[in-house]
Each structure stands twice: as C-alpha cells, then as structure tokens.
Structure 1
Amino acid sequence: MLEGFEPQVLLSMWLKERKIQNQSEHTLHAYERDVSDFLAFCATRNLNLNDIESADLREFLGSKVEHQQLSSSSLQRILSAVRQFMKWAEQGQYMAFNPADDFQLKRQSRPLPGLVDIETVNQILDQPAPASEAQQQMWLRDKAILELLYSSGLRLAEVQSLRIKDVDFNRQLLRITGKGNKTRVVPFGVKAKDAVMQWLQIYPLWHGDFVPEANVFITQKGNPLGARQIENRVKLQAQRAGVNIDLHPHLLRHCFASHMLSNSRDLRAVQEMLGHSNLTTTQIYTHVDFDHLAQVYDQAHPRAQLKK
C-alpha cells in the first residue's frame, strides 16, 4: 500500500467517488458500514491491507454469521461492498492485489419479488381525495409520485431527484438519471401525466420556485422531498386506501415490471425502462405467465402438436 494512506482515509476517498457517481445515500451508508466493519476486523488482527488473504475474508464473514445470524443475501451484500472497495484500491495502486476478486460464496436461489395485483394498485391510485383542502393538496403530490413509480418503474432515488426540466409533457417522456449517473429516457402514461400536471398547479402555493432545475416533488416549505418522506407517504396512502400491505416505492417498481412483462412479453423493452445494465437482472420477472409460455411453445415448436 502506498505510504501515507490509512485504510479509513482510503474508505473516505472511495465513498466520495461513489457519491460523485450518483449512488444513493442509503447505498453509501451500507457501503460505509460494511467496509468499516471489515477494516475494524483487520485492525484487531493487525492486518495491513496488503496482508489480507482469502482466509481472512472467510473468517470475517464467518464471524458475521456466528454473532449476527446474517442471511446469505446479507453476506453477499457485505462481500460485494468489500470486493468493490478492494478493486478500487487495487486499481489506484493502494493495494498490490485484490484478495476478494476470486472469493465466492455459495449463492442461494434468488427469491421472486413480492407483487401486488393490478386491482389493488388501482384501488390505491384511484382512491378519493381527502376532505380537507390541506390534505387534498398533499394527496395530489402523493398521487403524482405513486403514478410515476408505477407508470415508469422508477427507483426511489430517481423520483426524488426528478427535476421539472426532466419532464416532457408533449411526448410523455421522462429523462431519468439512474445508478452510476447513467441517463435513460422512459415513457409515462396519461394518468401519470394528468396527476403530475394537477400537482404542478399546487406547486407555487408551496413556495416552490417553478424553474427548470427545481425538484418536481417538494415539501410544503418548498424544500426537496427526502427519500424517507416519500417512503412514508407511499405507505400512508396505501393505508388510507384500506390496503393491508407494506407498500414501498420499490414494490411499485416490481409491479410495473411484472405487469408490463405479463402484457407485453418484451423483456428487452422492460430492461430498458428499468435501467438494468444486465438482462439477467430483469429476468427475475419472467415468472409472471407460464400459461403464455406453454401457449407460445404449442404454437411455435414444430413437434409440439400432431399434424392432422
């Protein structure tokens, strides 16, 4: 390791770069926690970064299982954070090699995401507005958020950072800045368009500066709406609709993907709209309609049916 750089300093440098790459605050906190835990483990054993071996990684993860009863998915998350940090340190010549590069954990089968049926989603989105004027204004903002999450499969961070200039009402397109600062353009539906336009009529009343760079979703004081605030409002509107589910933004993204695939069968298009760099990530949603799969097989395979 180059002289003058302590592990915690390197961690701070790495996190700063990840932030520049538009990683969410939630992800950055997880990275910091997981890598800090590993560096603390190394410190108790007087291990310099260049002294770390695969056996040390295995011992660290084993201690996590023993003391914290972590699941396989949690261990994979920790390992991913440590591996990315070490890869960055190796590329910057702060480490001679990355011992985590070839280190693997046995993966369990990936669980399918939970789903909400279309009727339940409609029950939430089409619920009547509250009685009081103040709550009506809140509902118009929340409805616009819900409609965009479900209409375009946006991530929480993407809807939070959406700016007025990113919305093209004429062509019904959104310019989204996603993970890794990658930009994509996605369509949004008529109901989402109407909801956002109704919300923007309220926008100036909340002391919002109606300028292209301003965030679409703000608080009543005119400040950008935070991630936790969005999560809480999504949960509240599900409860107000009488739906007994733990609704969160990512669940609406799952619903968008599954409902789109079920009706379109176009995996590539859904991949583009979700902003997945790898088609494998999108394929988790292909469980949606086995009846259609059987139908396609019967119609397409030359030996699926007996010729008359």
Structure 2
Amino acid sequence: MGIYKEKRIILKEEERLLKSSISDININYIKEFKSFLIASRIGILRTLRYMVDLRMICTRYKDKDFAEWNSKDIIEVLEKVEIEDISESSKNEYRRTLRKFFKWQKGDDWKDLQSLKGERKHPRKPDVLTKDEVLLLIESAMHPRDKAAIALLYDGGLRIGELASITFKDLTFNNFGGKAKVRGKTGERLVPFVMAEPYIKNWVQMHPNPHPNESLFIGTGNKNYGKPLFYESYMNIIKRAVKKSGIQKKV
C-alpha cells in the first residue's frame, strides 16, 4: 500500500474519532497511542485496527477516562464483549487491543493487566485471512463498489450468495456501523457490520440507482451496467484484489 493511501485511511479514522461521542480526554489518549504505534513502526493497518477497536470500546461499552480504569472496569467491558453477538476472533481482538493500549499507558508491570489474560485460542485453518490482510485486500480493490463488497463480505462473515441478496432496503446504519439483512441457504438473518461502514457509505453515494428494491452491488461496465452481479463477478472482484495485494494465501 502506498504512503498516500496509508495516510488517508488513518486520517479518515481520526475524522470518525473526532465526530464520535467519546470524551475529549479519551480521544486524545487514542491519538497519542496512534502516534506511539506509528513511531514504533507498527504497521499502518494494525495501527488502524487498534484505533477502531478503542473507538468501538468507548462508544459501545465504556467511555470512562482510560487513566482511571482498573480491573473492575476491564472485567465489566469484557463481560459485555463476551455476551455480544460477534465472532470469537473479534472478542480476542478487543482483548489484544486493550492489553496493548494499557501496556503503553500504564506500563508492563500494571497489576490489572492480569484481567486481560484468557484469550480463547482456536485452531486456525492455514488460509484464513488475518484482519490486517482483510484491510489490505480492501485497500487493494480499485473500485469503491469492490471495496464495499469485500469489506462487507469479511466483516459480516457472509457467503457470496448472501452478499448478492442485499438490496438498499436491507441496509440500516447506526452509531456503531450498521446492519444488513441477508438471505441464503440457511434462511434470512440480520448481520451487523462495523469496519465495512465507511466503504459501504462511499459506494452508496456513487450508486447510480439507490432505490429500496435495487441490488446493492451492480455492474458498472458497458455490458452489465446497472444489473445485479453474478457469482463469477464477485469471485473476479476478490481475485483482482488478491493479485494486487500480493497476498499468497488461497482466498
């Protein structure tokens, strides 16, 4: 990813942070943490992941001054995370983010770091993409439609058939991101998304026919302009992004 794109995605997240309902003091902590991560040569995509997680923790679970957090606050947040209808990898990611943040803010010897142990480990299939790789894949897509499709596919853990079923009336946005009603082999379900939200909104603004019954993802070429995408089209979107990203895993 080029330097310009890296700066752009960080700036976009900073804009979302400033527009959020988070207290000014915690916004400043997150921005200082971001500066530390970049200065420490932590990757831009990993830095972005930490920023997004901290923003979501503050908006969804607890916006108490980070300097005043103790084990009671950590346990309270982790309890809310554990009962949330999100993937195990997302739950583990919140733990990693809090552990990294508080090590920076309070030091390695802070006694309440013990509360952040107990990450649940699952055997990972060798070809499962990491969150950093998913973000790289999204940024490697050339068209806003493709970025939105890839982001929603991975953020929502969707099958391509479910992704293809989404119309404008199936989308709702909220303070945390949004939800999409999808239909597939197992029936209908409501899928929350967070990371995909800015990519979806960007594509929605460019969509040539944002009618409630219109497919969210349609063709943009001369032959299939305005028509719902077929399975092969979604696969080609992914293949192009994988090739440009340089990811070696079988996606």
- Specify the structure having the higher radius of gyration (Cα): 1
**Alignment TM-score > 0.5, same fold:** no
